[in-house]
Amino acid sequence: MTLTAVVKTQPPAAIDAILAAGQAVFGENRVQEAQARWADRDRAGLELRLIGSLQTNKAEAAVALFDVIETLDRARLVEALARAADRAGRTPRCLIQVNTGREPQKAGAAPEAVPALLDTARAAGLTVEGLMCIPPAEDDPVAHFRPLAALARDLGLPILSMGMSGDYPAAIACGATHVRLGTALFGERNRP
Ligand SMILES: *Cc1c(COP(=O)(O)O)cnc(C)c1O
C-alpha cells in the first residue's frame, strides 16, 4: 500500500518537512501549480502523480512533469497524451479515472466505458496500470470502492487509487494500492 501525499496548496516549508520525513510519492491537482512547486527541487527518487483532471492543451506539460497520470478519462485525452509522449520520448504510466457515482459535474469515464477506453489507450501506446475514483461526498464510499476493485480485477489491472482523508481505512479494506491523503497529513487546507 502506497501513501500518496496530496500537496496541493501546501507551502514550501510543508514540502521541505515531508521530504525530510522520507515521503517520496506526491499527488498534485493542477499542472501549473505543480510545475511551480517542483521546478527548483531535486526530484531524483520522487514520484509525482497527477490526480486532478487534465485539459488536452496541458498534455505536453503534464507528460514532462508527471510520472503517473491518474485522471485519464476520455479518448481525446488519450490522443493528446500519446502525441505528447511521442514528442517527449517519455511515457507516463496512467490510471483511468472512473466516475463511479455518475455525477455529471465530475470527471471520469462511466464504468461501462472503461473497457473500450482501456483498449483505445493501449492501442495508442499508453501504459494503463489501474483505476482511480473519487466517490460522491454524500455516499457510503464502500459502494464505490467495491465496484471499482471488481472492475480492475475483471480487466486485470493491478493498481487501485482510492481513499482520501475521510475514507481511506474503508478503501484499504476494499483493496486500495494507493491512498491519496492531504488533510490527514497537513491539516485543513485554506480554501480559496
Ligand atoms: C484534494 C484531493 C485529495 C486529498 O483530499 P483530503 O481529503 O485532503 O485527503 C485526494 N484526491 C484528490 C483527487 C484530491 O483532489
| Per-residue pLDDT tens over the stretch 90-140 | 999 999 999 999 999 999 999 999 999 999 999 999 999 999 999 999 999
Q: Is 91 in the pocket of ligand 1 (CB under 6 A)?
A: no
Nearest CA to ligand 1 atom 7: 165
Amino acid letter at 189? R
Nearest atom, ligand 1, residue 183 CA: 8
Q: List, for residues 3-21, the tens digit of each pLDDT value.
A: 999 999 999 999 999 999 9
Alpha helices in 102-166 (DSSP H): 114-123, 142-155
Residue 86 CA, ligand 1 centroid: distance in Å: 30
Q: List, for residues 30-86, the tens digit of each pLDDT value.
A: 999 999 999 999 999 999 999 999 999 999 999 999 999 999 999 999 999 999 999
Place of cell 481525446: 76
Q: Is 162 in the pocket of ligand 1 (CB under 6 A)?
A: no
Beta bridge pairs of residue 6: 27
Task: Report residue 49 as a C-alpha cell.
Answer: 502523480
CB 97 within 8 Å of CB 113 = no
Nearest atom, ligand 1, residue 165 CA: 9
